[in-house]
């Protein structure tokens, strides 16, 4: 009964909540800007030389891009990664405030409820990513905004996957403190070993192994391809891997939520 209705109403709810939570609204924009500003200005100055030989050497390291372009395109992917994961984790708040029970006792298909929720959150995150991309264009003029729809497609797949991952974790999580543990020991390393801030090809083997298993690596690479034309992998490979990883997380979230009780 009413798959579309339930899906739609959860999208509606997530969007409404986003618009009303001004604090969250502001923070999600400010955080990536802080990265762009401090990392971009700091590292950008390290990597800028008046000597054209050194300059071209550096560019070669970043696939032919100047550091600001390299970084900001990565941050677009990172925004989706962090934003959607944290959105998924807000299921924990629904648990805390009881709204989760309201959705569990409803006759609407649980798969529709959880997919609608992930979709709504992903839309919000893509809006943020778009704004970050516009800011990036302002500081790194060589970015090609015509590639933005393509980049957002990669962002969408990553967003659905990471929201689902967040949902699975918060359904299993018993205390909000575990959220910090997951953030520090899983999300932070994945963020740094993804090619957002520096290229991966010179990393030690163990770090490369992590990067290879990291969904963000493929999202960042794909987004960078669409915005600059430069990428490490074939963008279709990126797409295929992202779809694979996200499908697993989405399936897990649907499964977990379908059999959720309040024990």
Partner 1 sequence: MSDVVIVEELVKRYGDVEAVRGISFGIRKGEVFGLLGPNGAGKTTTIHVIATLLRPTAGSVLVAGHDVVKEAAEVRKRIGIVFQDPSLDWALTAWENMYIHGLLYGLSGEGLNSRIREVLEFVELWEHANRLVRYFSGGMRRRLEVARALLHSPELLILDEPTIGLDPHTRARIWDYIREVRKREGMTILLTTHYMDEAEELCDRIAIMDHGKIIAEGTADELKSLVGSDVIIARFDRPACFQSGPVKECRELPDGRVEFVVENAAKALPQLFEMAREAGLRIIEVSYRRPTLNEVFLHLTGRELRDAPAEGPRPFAMMGRRR
| CA angle centred on 149, ends 20 and 36, rounded to 5° | 65
Please name which of 107, 239, 94 lies closest in space to residue 173, comparing C-alpha atoms.
94
Contact status: 1 vs partner 1 (CB under 8 A): yes
Options 16-24, 33-41, 56-64, 206-214: segment touching partner 1 (CB under 8 A): 16-24
Contact status: 52 vs partner 1 (CB under 8 A): no
Closer to partner 1 at the Cβ: 18 or 85?
18
Smallest gap from Cβ 8 to partner 1, in A, equals 7
Q: Which helix (H) or strand (E) holds 194?
A: none
CA-based end-to-end distance of the chain: 26
Please tell me the distance from the alpha carbon of residue 237 to that of residue 132, in angstroms, as a whole number. 25
Alpha-carbon separation of residue 249 from 47, 131, 197, 255 (angstroms)? 38, 26, 25, 10
Figure out which of the listed residues 2, 42, 199, 244 binds partner 1, where binding follows CB under 8 A: 2
Smallest gap from Cβ 16 to partner 1, in A, equals 6
Q: Which two tokens stand for residue 7?
A: 């899906």
- Site map (CB under 8 A) of partner 1, residues 95-124, x = contact: xxxxxxxxxxxxxxx---x-----------
Residues in contact with partner 1, total (CB under 8 A)?
Answer: 32
Smallest gap from Cβ 258 to partner 1, in A, equals 10
Sequence-separated (6 or more) residues with CB below 8 Å from residue 31 = 82
Enumerate binding residues for partner 1 (CB under 8 A): 1-2, 5-6, 8-9, 12-13, 16-17, 20-21, 95-109, 113, 174, 261-263
């Amino acid at each position: 009964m009413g798959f579309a209705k339930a899906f739609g109403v959860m999208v509606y709810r997530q969007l409404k909540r986003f618009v009303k939570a001004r604090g969250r609204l502001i923070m999600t924009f400010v955080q990536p800007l802080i990265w762009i500003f401090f990392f971009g200005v700091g590292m950008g100055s390290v990597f800028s030389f008046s000597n054209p030989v050194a300059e071209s050497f550096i560019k070669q390291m970043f696939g032919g891009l100047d550091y600001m372009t390299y970084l900001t395109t990565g941050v677009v992917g990172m925004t989706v990664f962090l934003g959607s994961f944290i959105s998924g984790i807000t299921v924990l708040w629904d648990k805390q405030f009881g709204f989760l029970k309201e959705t569990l006792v409803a006759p609407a298909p649980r798969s529709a409820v959880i997919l609608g929720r992930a979709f709504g959150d992903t839309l919000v995150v893509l809006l943020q990513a778009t704004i970050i991309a516009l800011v990036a264009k302002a500081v790194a003029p060589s970015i090609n905004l015509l590639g933005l729809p393509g980049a957002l497609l990669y962002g969408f797949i990553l967003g659905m996957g990471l929201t689902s991952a967040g949902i699975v974790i918060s359904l299993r999580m018993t205390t909000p403190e575990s959220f910090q543990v997951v953030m520090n020991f899983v999300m932070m390393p994945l963020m740094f070993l993804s090619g957002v801030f520096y290229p991966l090809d010179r990393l030690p083997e163990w770090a490369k192994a992590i990067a290879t298993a990291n969904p963000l690596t493929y999202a960042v690479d794909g987004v960078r391809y669409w915005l600059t034309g430069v990428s490490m992998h074939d963008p279709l490979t990126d797409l295929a891997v992202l779809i694979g990883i996200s499908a697993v997380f989405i399936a897990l979230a649907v499964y977990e939520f379908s059999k959720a009780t309040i024990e």
